[in-house]
Amino acid sequence: MPTDVELKAINRLFNIAKAGTADSRRVADFLLTWWDAGLNGGFDLTTMWSLDAGIQGDLVIAFEMIGREKCYPDDWGYGPGIREVVRQWRPEWVEAVDARYGE
């Protein structure tokens, strides 16, 4: 089960991803890779170099939790958040996402 610290870090990452900045795109890439690496194409770890220390810390916390818990965002109730990130950053995937979630 994720800790409160981990859930707060993930919530911050989702909020950053929705903000519409250059950092948002980088964080969205991370979240979308977690959700479906095959569809997203992966996350380049050197992307972290351009993020501030706070965001880097949240990515590290999330990465550790993902490895330990062996979970996808949907497993912890982040399906709606992923759908929002897809709509904003990968509009070409909306149809596939809607099909996955039965819409």
SS (H, E, C) 26-94: HHHHHHHHHHCHHHHCCCCHHHHHHCCHHHHHHHHHHHHHHHHHCCCHHHHCCHHHHHHHHHHHCHHHH
Global pTM reads 0.91
Per-residue confidence (pLDDT) for residue 93, from 0 to 100: 85
* Per-residue model confidence as pLDDT tens digits over 53-94: 999 999 999 999 999 999 999 898 998 999 999 999 999 888
Task: Write down the domain spans for the chain.
Answer: 4-100
Per-residue confidence (pLDDT) for residue 19, from 0 to 100: 94
pLDDT greater than 90 at residue 9 = yes
